Structure 1
Amino acid sequence: EIGKAEVVADGTDVALIGLGTMFEMAEQTKALLEEKGYSVALINPRFIKPLDAAVIEEYGRKCRVVCTFEDHVIKHGFGAAVIELLHEAGIHTPVERIAWPDEFVEHGKPEILRDLHKLTAAEAVTKCLKHL
C-alpha cells in the first residue's frame, strides 16, 4: 500500500529508518546495537512521499533516538522530512541522519566513498550512542 511503512522489527531504544539502498546499512546497524544490548526497531519506509506519519510518530515517541539512512545529500532529504514531521507533531526525540554531505562528492566506488564520508553502520552506532 502506498504510503505505508513496513515495521520489520520492534524496539524501544533506537528506531532505524532505512530508505531504499540504505536499508541494508540500517540492518547492519541494528545488529551492532543489539550486540551492545539495545532494543532496536527497524523500519522500511518504502516511500519518500507520502511518509507514514503514524509509524514515524509512534517510534519517535517510543524510542530514545531515531536514525535515518538515505542515499541522498543530508540537506532537504528524507531525514529532514522525518525531523520536520516529528517536530510538527510535538515530538522532540533526537534524530541522527546517515546521508551524503551537502558538497561535491568525488567519483569512485560506492563502498570506498561511503567509508570516506562516514556513511557506515559503525558511524550510525556512534551517532546513536550519543543519545543513549
Structure 2
Amino acid sequence: MSIAAALGIMSGTAQGAASKPSSEVSVQVAYKCYVNSYWLCAETLDRVYQRAQPTKNSDYVVLLDKGRSVQLRCWKEGEVINGNNVWYYTATDVDYPYQTIGYVSAAYLSTGKDPEWGIGHC
C-alpha cells in the first residue's frame, strides 16, 4: 500500500488538464523519515544530482538514483527548473553508503506543493 493510500490522500489535476483513471493517479507527498522521525522526506522522481548550491551549474555532491529518499532540511529560492524556483537543502540517510548533504530542485522531488508545508526557509 502506498503512503498516500494509507493516509487517504487524493491527487487532483490542474484545471484544463486531462484526468487519469484513479488507478493511474500519481500522488506526491512528503513523509516522515529517519530513525527519530524528525525530518520530512521526499523521493527523487528521476536520477538527479544533489548540488552544492541551488543551481544546476553548481558542483554536484552525488548522483541520486530515481526513488531515493532524501531528508528535507530547509528550502530556498534558486534557479528555475521546469517552472519551479524552490530548491531543498537535503540529506541522504546514513546508509547511502555515507550521508551526503546538498540542494535538489523541487522539480525532481515528490513534494507536491512547493515549498512543502512544515519545511522552513534556509
TM-score for the superposition, normalised by structure 1:
0.24
**Structure with the largest fraction of helix:** 1
RCO higher in structure (CA 8 A, sep ≥6)? 1
- The structure with the larger Rg is 2
**Structure with the largest fraction of strand:** 2
